[in-house]
Amino acid sequence: MPDSADTIKRTTSEQERLVQSITTLFEHKISFNEFLGFKIAQLEPAPVKIVFDMRPELIGHYLHGRLHGGVISSVLDVAGGLAVMLGIARFHETENCEQIMERFTHLATINMRVDYLRQGVGTQFTADASVIRLGRRVAVCSMQLSNNEASLIATGTATYMVS
């Protein structure tokens, strides 16, 4: 097989640059994620993991101090989106950081289902997501949210546009 740019995989340093770019995008450039306090806990190996701490601004029921349902659905959605980003990067392993980051400009949620299983009570929460299917135009993910006591709070399934 000839040695061409189309067959050379991303170098380790280019992969590290991509991971840093994804982290900066996710945690700082998407200001909604930054406002909610979402931090990437794990990118590789799958599933991706996002953590965040409970804060008074995230309470949905003032009497019980439970996490707002909108925060729950938001973290599941962004966890799924992050999993798709990693899936895209893996699929296009010969592309550099700029090319992959450009691909993310097309990423958008098409549909999402959330099942709320327990009250959102805890001091810290972890959302994880895995890609079920990654196609050329559409990706499907499964997500779940747990609290610091490993109680499963919510699950979700989402479909994303990737091109």
- 């170098």: which residue's tokens? 11
Looking at residue 163, its pLDDT comes to 84
Residue 125 lies in a domain: yes
Residue 114 lies in a domain: yes
Percent of the chain, pLDDT > 90? 88
Residue 27 lies in a domain: yes
**Residue 152: strand pairing partners:** 146
Mean pLDDT of the residues in the chain: 93
Contact 93, 7 (CB under 8 A): no
| Closest CA relative to residue 131, chosen from 158, 154, 155 | 158
- Name the phi and psi angles at 30, rounded to 5: -90, 90
- Return the minimum-mean-pLDDT range out of 45-49, 50-54, 79-83, 144-148: 45-49
- CA–CA distance, 115 with 143 (Å, rounded to integer): 10
Domain extent for 157: 12-161
Residue 4 lies in a domain: no
As a whole number, mean pLDDT of residues 8-25 equals: 93
- CA–CA distance, 75 with 137 (Å, rounded to integer): 23
- Return the minimum-mean-pLDDT range out of 20-24, 42-46, 70-74, 121-125: 42-46
- pLDDT at position 100 over 70: yes
Residue 3 lies in a domain: no
Q: Assign residue 150 the CATH number of its domain.
A: 3.10.129.10
Looking at residue 148, its pLDDT comes to 97
Residue 36 lies in a domain: yes
Looking at residue 68, its pLDDT comes to 97
- Name the phi and psi angles at 29, rounded to 5: -75, -30
- Domains held by the chain: number: 1
Residue type, 101: M
User: According to the per-residue pLDDT averaged within each range, which of 1-5, 88-92, 157-161 is highest?
Assistant: 157-161
Instruction: Give the model confidence (pLDDT) of 63-90 as tens digits.
Output: 889 999 999 999 999 999 999 999 999 9
Residue 40 lies in a domain: yes
Residue 72 lies in a domain: yes
